Amino acid sequence: MAVNWLEEWAEVGGLFFMVLGFILSILLMVPALSYISILIAGFLAGRIYYLKRFSQPILPFIIMICGFLLGYLLGGFWVNRFWILIWFGASFGISYYLHLKKILVIFKSRNFIK
């Protein structure tokens, strides 16, 4: 069965990020490292969402973010899954807010170099 990459890139990307999140959470057996990595992933997801929020196909990026989070939750045997959701949501919200208020700026903006 062939995959039509032009039409199904979002689903394949979501599956890739789900597997990536699962492998990352399996490899990080120390709970502190797992929480730090999910904080970083939440910050990156908030940045990606901020950059793509007004572009037309936003759903593929949401599928990829949710795929990573689902994979991370499925593989998080050594951590509390409730706290993973809380830390991811909090860091996502903080990152989005900081980008929205221009405290953190993207590299191609005029305010990047002051």
Q: Are 41 and 72 in contact (CB under 8 A)?
A: yes
Query: What is the pTM (predicted TM-score) of this model?
Result: 0.85
Asked if 38 contacts 88 with a C-beta cutoff of 8 angstroms, the reply is: yes
Confidence of residue 34 (pLDDT cuts 50, 70, 90): very high
pLDDT band at 8 (very low <50, low <70, confident <90, very high): confident
Check residue 114 and give its pLDDT: 45
Q: Which tokens go with 49?
A: 């969402």
Report pLDDT digits (tens) over 48-69.
Answer: 999 888 887 888 899 999 999 9
Q: Tell me the per-residue pLDDT of 61-108, one tens digit each, with 9 for 90 and over.
A: 999 999 999 999 999 988 999 999 999 999 999 999 999 998 887 766
DSSP of the chain, one letter per residue? Answer: ----HHHHHHHHHHHHHHHHHHHHHHH--SHHHHHHHHHHHHHHHHHHHHHHTTSS--HHHHHHHHHHHHHHHHH-SSS-HHHHHHHHHHHHHHHHHHHHTTSS--TTSGGG--
